[in-house]
Amino acid sequence: MCDAIEAVTKGWKGNSFSHIGMVEKLNDTIYVWESMGPGVRKVLLDSFRERSQHPLVIGRLKNQYKKFIPSAIQFIHKNNGVAYDHDFLYGNGKYYCSELIYDALMYANNNKPFFKLYPMTFKQPGSSSYFPVWVNYYKRLNMPIPEGQPGCNPGGLSRSNKIFIVGEF
- Predicted pLDDT of residue 169: 84
Domain 2-164 top-level CATH class: alpha beta
Say if residue 128's pLDDT is above 90.
yes
- Predicted pLDDT of residue 53: 81
Confidence of residue 14 (pLDDT cuts 50, 70, 90): confident
- Residues 6 or more apart from 70 whose CB is under 8 A from it? 108
User: pLDDT for 41-77, tens place per residue?
Assistant: 999 999 999 998 888 999 999 999 999 999 999 999 9
Four-residue CA torsion sign, 69, 83, 20, 151:
negative
Report the chain's terminal Cα–Cα distance, integer Å: 24
- Predicted pLDDT of residue 8: 79
131 vs 136: CA distance, rounded Å: 9
- Predicted pLDDT of residue 96: 97
- Residues 6 or more apart from 99 whose CB is under 8 A from it? 35, 85, 90, 151, 152
- Predicted pLDDT of residue 52: 86
Arithmetic mean of pLDDT over the chain:
94
82 vs 36: CA distance, rounded Å: 10
Q: Give the DSSP H or E segment for 25.
A: strand 22-26
pTM score of the predicted model: 0.94
